[in-house]
Amino acid sequence: MNEDKATRYHRNQRTVVWITLALQVAGMAALLPGGAAIQIRDAVVRLSGAAPTSLLTVAGFAVALFVLAEGLSLPLTFYRTFVLDHRYGLSTAPLRVWVVDHLKGVVVSLVLALVAAEAVYVALAVWPRWWWAVTSAMFSVAIVGLARVTPNVLLPIFYKFKPLDRHALRSRLELLSSRAGLSVLGVYEWGLGVKTSRANAALVGTGRSRRILLSDTLLADYTDDEIEVIIAHELGHHAHRDIRNGLMIDVALIAACFAAAAVALNALWRPLGLAAPNDAAGLPLLLCVAGIVSMSARPALNALSRRNEHRADRFALKMSSRPDAFVSAMRRLAAQNLAEARPSTATLWLFHTHPPFEQRIQAARTFLS
């Protein structure tokens, strides 16, 4: 029954994702010929009195583009993250909480989008030939910085955390981390239950700032053995440097996106009617090209992520020596979080960063035999 329910849930989710993507592509395509983008830019210029290439115009144009994209996607986002999650029993948040969280996310996203747009256009103005390389370097530094500040700055905006008050479990997980050669700052209870019925755990941060996070939904129903093997899996990612390697891959992908965007901009800024390569109206072109490159890489990145998940599973089995707890934890997490048991090959490659749970269980049994 859970499997059928999970299959329906994920099919509905993917349908909404595809519709959202189609609307976004159509919206950007409508801006690409130049007319709509230039009209928006001209409206910003009239309001600000600044040049089409000024940073003030870039900021106004970026805000306008963000508002258009948000307005286009909001009904589908609401349906996917509120209506569907409530229908399938995954959300416990009332509408008011969803609205507040969504507004918080919009504010954070808008700030990041503005900073990113300004950085790109500063580089375009100052280093017109090598702007893509300079921007890639700036973005690379930014994603490393975000990875460091997210546990302490961004996550607390949406969730409450407190030190875990179960002394025996805390000591057990700290000892497990020590055995893995990874220091942790502490073990914390993660307040997910007020918003979702999903269970989750994470090892966030890097170096001495690492923290173990256990959702209250996990602590309520899972045994200490199951929690230990789940955290052993998370430790496996850090022991194998999956976080660092993932950031390095992100850096390479960012460089590829901006390099492709630079080629497209050099070839198309005149045909599109832009005043200069650093005309604010060229932003949709940059976003489209970067999006195409990023989406093209997604199947390979998903495959790499699934390989890393299998490796972290093997690490967990070695560290915990609790195969029964691993199997029971996988099955319970899959049921509670409505994991898809047997996705199609296309779905697996396009959407899944984790292997199907039955495959993980079978791989674990093979590894132990």
3-class DSSP string for 106-148: HHHHHHHHHHHHHHHHHHHHHCCCCHHHHHHHHHHHHHHHHHH
Beta-carbon neighbour count of residue 147 at 10 Å? Answer: 17
Q: Is the pLDDT of residue 367 over 80?
A: no
> Mean per-residue pLDDT for 228-251?
94
* Cβ neighbourhood burial of 175 (10 Å; 0-12, 13-18, 19+): exposed
Q: Is the pLDDT of residue 147 over 60?
A: yes
Query: Which residue(s) pair with 189 in the sheet?
Result: 162, 214
Which residue ranges make up each domain of the chain?
1-369
Q: Which H or E element spans position 202?
A: strand 201-204
Length of the chain: 369
Q: Which H or E element spans position 256?
A: helix 242-268
Question: Percent of the chain at pLDDT above 90?
Answer: 82
- Rounded to whole angstroms, the Cα distance separating 188 from 231 reads 12
| pLDDT for the residue numbered 117 | 96
Three-class secondary structure of residue 160 per DSSP: coil
pLDDT tens by residue, 349-364: 999 999 999 999 998 8
> What does pLDDT average to over the chain?
92
Q: Which of 168-172, 334-338, 364-368 shows the lowest per-residue confidence on average (mean pLDDT)? A: 364-368
Q: Using pLDDT thresholds of 50, 70 and 90, give the confidence band for residue 294.
A: very high
Structure tokens that stand for 84 in this block: 């569907």
Structure tokens that stand for 174 in this block: 């700290």
Three-class secondary structure of residue 164 per DSSP: coil
| pLDDT for the residue numbered 342 | 86
| pLDDT for the residue numbered 330 | 95
Residue in the block written with tokens 């970026």: 62
Beta-carbon neighbour count of residue 291 at 10 Å? Answer: 16
pLDDT tens by residue, 256-265: 999 999 999 9
Q: Which of 30-34, 87-91, 259-263, 293-297 shows the lowest per-residue confidence on average (mean pLDDT)? A: 30-34
pLDDT tens by residue, 170-208: 999 999 999 999 989 899 999 999 999 999 999 998 777
What does DSSP assign to residue 170? H
pLDDT tens by residue, 6-28: 999 999 999 999 999 999 888 88
Alpha carbon distances (Å) from 41 to 119, 232, 233, 359: 18, 52, 49, 51
Q: Is the pLDDT of residue 3 over 60?
A: no
| pLDDT for the residue numbered 205 | 83
In DSSP notation, 304-357 reads HHHHHHHHHHHHHHHHH--HHHHHHHHHHHHHHTT--SS--HHHHHHH-SS--H
Q: Is the pLDDT of residue 143 over 60?
A: yes
Structure tokens that stand for 29 in this block: 């395509």
- Rounded to whole angstroms, the Cα distance separating 130 from 338 reads 47
Q: Using pLDDT thresholds of 50, 70 and 90, give the confidence band for residue 369.
A: low
- Rounded to whole angstroms, the Cα distance separating 68 from 175 reads 50
| pLDDT for the residue numbered 149 | 82
Structure tokens that stand for 106 in this block: 């919009």
Query: Measured at the alpha carbon of residue 239, what is the angle toward residues 348 and 324, in degrees to the nearest 5?
Result: 65
> Mean per-residue pLDDT for 106-132?
96
Q: Which of 132-136, 248-252, 361-365 shows the lowest per-residue confidence on average (mean pLDDT)? A: 361-365
| pLDDT for the residue numbered 94 | 95
Structure tokens that stand for 109 in this block: 């996203």
> Mean per-residue pLDDT for 138-147?
90
| Phi, psi angle pair for 71, to nearest 5° | -65, -35
CB 331 within 8 A of CB 365: no
Amino acid symbol at 35: G
pTM of the model as a whole:
0.90
- Rounded to whole angstroms, the Cα distance separating 132 from 109 reads 22
| pLDDT for the residue numbered 153 | 86
| pLDDT for the residue numbered 33 | 67
| pLDDT for the residue numbered 2 | 45
Looking at per-residue confidence, does 366 or 329 come out higher? 329
Query: Measured at the alpha carbon of residue 162, what is the angle toward residues 159 and 168, in degrees to the nearest 5?
Result: 135
> Mean per-residue pLDDT for 99-105?
96
Q: Using pLDDT thresholds of 50, 70 and 90, give the confidence band for residue 29.
A: confident
Three-class secondary structure of residue 198 per DSSP: coil
